[in-house]
Amino acid sequence: MDYKKTLNLPQTRFSMKAGLPQKEPLWLEKWKKSDLYKNILHEREKNGADSYTLHDGPPYANGNIHMGHALNKVLKDIVVKYQTMKGLKAKYIPGWDCHGLPIEHQVMQKLRKKKQTKTPLEVRALCREYAQNFVTKQTEEFKRLGIWACWDTPYLTMDYSYEANIIRLFGDLVERGYVGRGVKPVHWCAQCETALAEAEIEYDTHVSSSVYVRLKCSEGWAEKIGSNLSGGASLIIWTTTPWTLPSNMAVAVHPKLDYVLVEAGGETFFVAKDLLLKVISVVLAKDIDDISESDYKVLSEIKGSQLEGIRYEPLFDEYKKDKDEASSDTKDFSVILADFVTAEDGTGCVHIAPGHGEEDFHVAQSYGLGLRMFVDGRGKYMNGAPDFLVGKFIFKSNEPIIEYLETNEFLLKKEEISHSYPHCWRCHKVTFLRATEQWFINVDHNNLRERVLEIMDDVKWVPEWGFTRLSEMVKNRPHWCISRQRAWGVPIPVFYCRSCSHTVLDVSLIREVAEKIDNKGCDVWYSDTVNELCSLSKCEKCGEENFDKETDILDVWFDSGASHYALLKKSIDLNFPAQLYLEGSDQHRGWFQSSFLLSVAGSDVKPFEEVLTHGFVVDGQGHKMSKSVGNVVSPQKLIQAYGADLVRLFVASSDYADDIKISDDIMRQKVDAYRKIRNTCRFLLGNTFDFCPEKDEVAYKELTSIDRWALSKLQILIERSTYYYENHLFHKFYQEIYHFCTTEMSSFYFDILKDRLYTATPKSIERLSSQTVMKEILITLTRLMAPIFVFTSEDIWENMPDSWKPKSFVHEESWPIKNDQFIDASLEKEWEKIHEVRDQALKIIEKLRADKVIGSSLEALLTLHLPESFFDLFSEYSDNLAMIFIVSEVKIVKDTELKIVATKINGSKCVRCWIYSPSVGENLEHIELCDKCSTVMGELL
């Protein structure tokens, strides 16, 4: 007889091979067909569920998605799916940042020569089309990753209503007094021809020419320091931006630092005492170690404060006239005092160019100095600069300037230095500071800065260093320059009187404009006349009736930073503050900060309760991915090769607190892990195919010991998994579930169960006991994994018998809740002991196999010498020991210490269960079977 047919071998359609790249799109279709996410939201709504709002930081609508997008959106999706399973109404509205320079840039590049002929309205229309195109593309790519969102109703910063809300928020800020206009040095990109925000600057190394320059003190310097010395003296300055020298207006010293007047090499000059030798080495062109006391003579020692007011001759002849004509109380071209001067670098005498430096600008203002800013938007010197420079690009002017200094005997030394320098984040060109008229948000008005810092303390930061990072940035940030000299964006709703230049910044007019924009979008600003836009009719200053519209647009960080206002506050389905903002760590500088500033400035509250930041995806060596290096890994390729669930596993299993490495090797490891987890599920499915809960379920008290153990372990898994999901520790969850599947299930529980599952009578109590628990494990495990393996979990779910599940999709299910009654700590301890002995025994058996004494472990007879403490426990399990150790027989003996002996067993092999037993041959009806199998056969026939 063919006894094999009498075994309960596993049956399932859930294949070993995943085939995710082909199968996943089918699931997407099924979800779409049944409108799954919307239906769930609808049901939550019906049940009056609370909302959970993860507010999407809008990615820029430019290009296909890259690994950074995939990482970010998958993390968000895990949160959304988890919260949904918890029963909350987690409505996730995706956003896109649509305005701004990069898109305008792309459009302009495509236009080439035609760009000169295009009106702002035509350019804007092309930009809108461009952005919309990428919104559509990225939507499809995000969907393919299994991400749930209200894809049909995203928020776009170029939506008319969104644009109107940006204007309204701007109006609120005007009303509260935060908005102002002024001349200030702002970061400027000559390539992009626009001001840049702090957030748009990246630092990179740059080689600059550094020069030591001699400025000749004007007559009267000696009296200033109470000295009767006669003859000349000079101030020596040091700068790494020689191109700013035409803007020099003063020399700053620190009031409390010690300075000396020194004579060396025929030169008499002032220098900070601590930098004396260094500067002498410059003057004498000598190595610092070779300088002896005879090389120089200190003539006088003074405090910096005593130098104040010493005048000097301008470097350029063009300015001499100005100096001579200026009244005696002007401080131009004189020594001023500033606290930011240090004795760490240079000479202690600092070149001040108010038009090109933040600190320079402020100190110059306090002294009432002039502002000589002769650089235009393209980075070229304008009229007013020395003649030989007019029309030249500043970064190409160091050479002629140095030549000029040399000819006129101002130059002491020049050298090249490599240092960290600001670059434009878009075009990567070197940027510079340029004083221009701009619109600002005053971050100190109404104590905004302090209040932001205070309210930030009331937010949960994951990881915690996010707080320190952002608060340091807020503490040190300058006022926010919000104007940009471009076309593609939201206009700054301000008017200027044509006759008297009066600036009209009026809240009610701004709100009128917002209404117009709500209907027709920001294009109305360009298409409509002032009269059509609002009720402004007469200038309150001069009574004239003609106005110009502001041509600057708002910084895009204002656009996206307004999302809490435009979206969260306006939607009844969403919470404000949101529960969670979740973005890459670059957003401390960007969106987290702009959102926080605008939210506190506009309505005195935080925009989010919790913020999570993640690192970046880097290559296998930890290098930044870049097209030019050729180390880019794209999510599209990964999906094609492995499937979206593997991309999701990659994301979930990585510790996002740091940068995350990706390579073929790393993906192969993930595939391996995935297979193990998949096979665990497959085993559960295969061995429960004939289990019908209504008829077959075994009550808890009647479960066998090992099944109760597994059920207890499952509760611990639920508890830990919930904790990990709740705290966004997905990589810990992954480790937990991987350990559970491989160590606790596959190589222990299942191993022990196999004999029982395959060879027992199908409806025997032992088999049903195991199936009762296996079903529970499978249902629970699938739900725990569902937020990560969004497709695989559906596949498992579909392959479960229908009678098991009330819902057709796993994502409709609720989150597992642990049952404390199933937790049995003492039972777990018992099995821990057994597990320990088993591990040792398996090694001994393995050795026997390696030595070819036995073939399979079932050919072994195990004798366990057990100390008292183990003996009682093992006696209790004596009936099951052979099954536990996967041998044919286990004998136990009391001994002083643990000793395990394995030998080859005598007896014959049962052809049905393969166990060696002396009983084989005893039953004449089943001569080839052991007594156990004979009994089973008796029951079956």
Nearer to Zn ion, 659 or 928 (CB): 928
DSSP 8-state symbol, 891: E
505 lies in the binding site for Zn ion (CB under 5 A)? no
User: Cβ of residue 548: shortest distance to Zn ion, in angstroms?
Assistant: 11
Task: Please choose, out of 260-268, 426-434, 593-601, 767-775, the segment that lies near Zn ion by the rule CB under 5 A.
Answer: 426-434
Out of 276, 800, 930, 937, which residue is the one contacting Zn ion (CB under 5 A)?
A: 930
542 lies in the binding site for Zn ion (CB under 5 A)? yes
Task: Please choose, out of 47-55, 89-97, 149-157, 927-935, the segment that lies near Zn ion by the rule CB under 5 A.
Answer: 927-935
539 lies in the binding site for Zn ion (CB under 5 A)? yes
Alpha carbon 816 to chain centroid distance?
Answer: 30
User: Cβ of residue 909: shortest distance to Zn ion, in angstroms?
Assistant: 9
**Cβ-based neighbours of 773, under 8 Å, separated by 6 or more:** 703, 707, 708, 710, 711, 714
817 lies in the binding site for Zn ion (CB under 5 A)? no
Nearer to Zn ion, 97 or 104 (CB): 104
106 lies in the binding site for Zn ion (CB under 5 A)? no
Out of 85, 497, 714, 890, which residue is the one contacting Zn ion (CB under 5 A)?
A: 497
The amino acid sitting at 480 is W
Cβ atoms < 10 Å from Cβ of 38:
13
Nearer to Zn ion, 194 or 654 (CB): 194
Q: Which residues pair with 238 in a beta bridge?
A: 212
User: Cβ of residue 77: shortest distance to Zn ion, in angstroms?
Assistant: 34
CA angle 881, 883, 887 (to 5 degrees): 90
User: Cβ of residue 937: shortest distance to Zn ion, in angstroms?
Assistant: 9
Cβ atoms < 10 Å from Cβ of 807:
11
User: Cβ of residue 191: shortest distance to Zn ion, in angstroms?
Assistant: 4
Nearer to Zn ion, 326 or 542 (CB): 542
| Two structure tokens written together for 846 | 């393995």
User: Cβ of residue 858: shortest distance to Zn ion, in angstroms?
Assistant: 10
Task: Please choose, out of 150-158, 335-343, 541-549, 881-889, the segment that lies near Zn ion by the rule CB under 5 A.
Answer: 541-549
Nearer to Zn ion, 494 or 729 (CB): 494
User: Cβ of residue 198: shortest distance to Zn ion, in angstroms?
Assistant: 15
502 lies in the binding site for Zn ion (CB under 5 A)? yes
**Cβ-based neighbours of 878, under 8 Å, separated by 6 or more:** 890, 892
User: Cβ of residue 880: shortest distance to Zn ion, in angstroms?
Assistant: 16
Q: Which residues pair with 335 in a beta bridge?
A: 251
910 lies in the binding site for Zn ion (CB under 5 A)? yes
Nearer to Zn ion, 504 or 598 (CB): 504
| Two structure tokens written together for 436 | 């221009």
500 lies in the binding site for Zn ion (CB under 5 A)? yes
189 lies in the binding site for Zn ion (CB under 5 A)? yes
**Residue 63: left (phi > 0), alpha (psi -120 to 50), or beta?**
left
By the 8 A CB rule, do 219 and 255 touch? no
Give yes or no for a cis peptide into 577 (omega within 30° of 0): yes
Nearer to Zn ion, 452 or 933 (CB): 933
Nearer to Zn ion, 137 or 502 (CB): 502
User: Cβ of residue 499: shortest distance to Zn ion, in angstroms?
Assistant: 5
**Residue 87: left (phi > 0), alpha (psi -120 to 50), or beta?**
left
927 lies in the binding site for Zn ion (CB under 5 A)? no
User: Rounded to the nearest 10 degrees, how much is the dihedral formed by the CA atoms of 811, 817, 822, 827?
Assistant: 90
User: What is d(CA 544, CA 528) in angstroms, rounded to the nearest whole number?
Assistant: 20
Nearer to Zn ion, 363 or 424 (CB): 424
User: Cβ of residue 498: shortest distance to Zn ion, in angstroms?
Assistant: 8
User: What is d(CA 486, CA 196) in angstroms, rounded to the nearest whole number?
Assistant: 11
DSSP 8-state symbol, 53: -
Pairing of strands 54-55, 578-584: parallel
Could you give the 3-state DSSP secondary structure of residue 440? strand
Distances (CA, A) of 695 to 7, 169, 244, 768, 855: 21, 64, 88, 10, 40
Nearer to Zn ion, 75 or 497 (CB): 497
Q: Which residues pair with 432 in a beta bridge?
A: 188
913 lies in the binding site for Zn ion (CB under 5 A)? yes
| Two structure tokens written together for 237 | 């300055």
Out of 321, 396, 541, 904, which residue is the one contacting Zn ion (CB under 5 A)?
A: 541
User: What is d(CA 109, CA 117) in angstroms, rounded to the nearest whole number?
Assistant: 14
The amino acid sitting at 131 is A
Binding residues with Zn ion: total (CB under 5 A): 18
1 lies in the binding site for Zn ion (CB under 5 A)? no
Of 192-211, binders to Zn ion (CB under 5 A) are: 192
Cβ atoms < 10 Å from Cβ of 689:
16
Run of H or E including 39: helix 36-46
User: Cβ of residue 196: shortest distance to Zn ion, in angstroms?
Assistant: 7
842 lies in the binding site for Zn ion (CB under 5 A)? no
User: What is d(CA 569, CA 196) in angstroms, rounded to the nearest whole number?
Assistant: 29
User: Cβ of residue 932: shortest distance to Zn ion, in angstroms?
Assistant: 5
Out of 191, 631, 761, 808, which residue is the one contacting Zn ion (CB under 5 A)?
A: 191
424 lies in the binding site for Zn ion (CB under 5 A)? yes
**Cβ-based neighbours of 627, under 8 Å, separated by 6 or more:** none
108 lies in the binding site for Zn ion (CB under 5 A)? no
107 lies in the binding site for Zn ion (CB under 5 A)? no
Residues that bind Zn ion (CB under 5 A): 189, 191-192, 424, 426-427, 497, 499-500, 502, 539, 541-542, 910, 912-913, 930, 933
